Copies of this chain bind each other. A is one copy, B any other.
Amino acid sequence: MMHQLRSSLVKNKKSKILLLVLDGVGGLPFPKLTELEAAKTPTLDKFVKKSETGAHTPIISGITPGSGSAHLALFGYDPLSYDIGRGVLEALGLDVHIGEKDLLIRGNFASVKRIGSKDIVTDRRAGRISTKINNRLVDLLNSKIKKIDQVGVKFVSGLDHRFVCKLSFKKKLDPQECMIIDTDPEEIGVEPVLPNHINRKSSPVSKIVIKLIAELKKVLKDEKKANFALLRGFSVYPEIPKFKELYNLEAASIVTYPMYKGISKLVGMNPLTVKDLSIKEQVSTLKNEYKNYDFFYFHIKKTDSYGEDGNYKGKIKIIEDFDKHLKNIMKLNFDVVCITGDHSTPSKMKSHSWHPVPVMINSKNSFYGTSNRFTEKECIKGNLGLFEGKSLMNYILAHADMLAKFGA
């Protein structure tokens, strides 16, 4: 409904829009200040005073999102209607071609120990093995496992302990035939979960996955650390309308991690090359490509990584580092600059959370004067109030003067 309404109102008008996403930026007082409150951010402080502010709930009240669904919401898709599997997201990020007969799985190399008759998980990430070791293991797997029954099997290395497995079936797959439980138990000291099917229709696929795991175990059995693999995010390629078609925007992404590259490609953005993982190089790319696109999605990952590690100081440092680059970004004279996070990752919780995420929108149409800093407490005072993440694009397009009036 919102999709259709909004698309019907999009004007044939060009604008320059920047969406800056500090992954997991929202925090909790720890013990007194959140990471955003503790960070020294003179440039954010300056611009937030001239911006419209509020906070978004990524999905709906109390629901903690994964990165994929949180980003879909930021891009204006209802994350409850478009549920995209981790397998597909990772595969897109690794430039794996996906067809309609393919099932995608995200894998982690892991360590297990035989205790009695059971395999017990001792490390869910195999001690975060290097990408080099990962490459060797993936080559080994590809040479040893080419088919399970009639199904083609292909492994692709990700960073560190991560890989993607693509199962190519003989016929087009229905998502309802691929409802398989993640095998990652999400804790150590227990057995891996069996890849059970959630519905009866998925039973044949489940049987293939059980055989795949047996093969994997056989090939990896002599490895010191990575003697097992945990599989999750079983998923098929979703049909999703593209950015250009929804908003009439030529969009590009400036991201450094595969999954975010993947999700940006999924919605029709062009992922731009960034020389290294630094914010500095991301800003260079933005400058160089400024004239070539209408919309830029600029993603900073480390705020989330440090939050997940419980590294309060590290997260503050990234926010401060971003703030130092913000001055140069603002010099580019975008019509609309929106700064927010995809969700909160409080260092105190060491995980994603459902807490509202501060939002600021800077444009000539901003209702400003409500917030003195870009923090959780200051932004919620703003006139956008608390809203669902999927509405953010409405506001961004409105600020860009890109939406026609609704109704007479």
Q: Which residues of A contact B (CB under 8 A)?
A: 1-2, 5-6, 9, 28-29, 32, 55, 59-70, 72, 79-80, 83-87, 89, 106, 233, 235, 349, 352-356, 365-370, 376-377, 380-381, 383-387, 391, 393-398, 403-408
Residues on B with beta carbons closer than 8 Å to the beta carbon of A9:
63
Q: With A and B bound together, what is the CA distance between A368 and B377 in angstroms?
A: 10
Partner of A369, one of B352, B377, B386: B377
Q: Which of B72, B368, B381, B403 meets A29, CB within 8 Å? A: B368
* 7 tightest A-B CB contacts, nearest first: A62-B394, A69-B407, A86-B408, A385-B386, A61-B391, A62-B398, A68-B408
User: Are the C-beta atoms of B394 and A32 separated by less than 8 Å?
Assistant: no
The answer on a CB contact under 8 Å between A406 and B62 is: no
Q: A62-B395, A63-B398 are in contact. Are A79 and B407 (CB under 8 A)?
A: yes
Taken together as a complex, chains A and B put the C-alpha atoms of A408 and B266 apart, in Å, by 14
Known: A62-B397, A233-B408. 14 other contacts (CB 8 A): A5-B60, A55-B385, A61-B387, A61-B391, A63-B406, A64-B404, A65-B406, A66-B407, A66-B408, A69-B407, A83-B407, A369-B377, A385-B385, A386-B386
The answer to whether B406 touches A64 (Cβ under 8 A) is yes
Candidates B61, B85, B407; contact of A68 at CB < 8 Å: B407
Min Cβ gap A233→B in Å is 5
CB-CB under 8 A from A405, the residues of chain B are: 64-66, 352
- B395 touching A84 by the CB < 8 A rule? no
Are B408 and A5 within 8 A (Cβ)? no
Q: Within the assembled complex, what's the spacing in Å between the Cα atoms of A381 and B60?
A: 20
Verify B385–A380 contact, CB threshold 8 A.
yes
A72 cross-chain contacts in B, Cβ below 8 A: 407
CB within 8 Å for A369 and B29 given contacts A60-B394, A377-B383, A383-B377: yes
* Given known A59-B406, A85-B408, A394-B62, contact A28–B367 (CB-CB < 8 A): yes
Q: How far is the CA of A28 from the CA of B69 in the complex (A)?
A: 33
Q: Give chain B residues whose Cβ lies under 8 Å from the Cβ of A28.
A: 365-367
Q: Which of A89, A385, A405 has most chain B Cβ within 10 Å?
A: A405
How far does the alpha carbon of A28 sit from the alpha carbon of B62 in the complex, in Å? 29
Please judge, given known A-B contacts A66-B406, A367-B28, A380-B385, whether A2 and B60 are in contact too, CB under 8 Å. yes
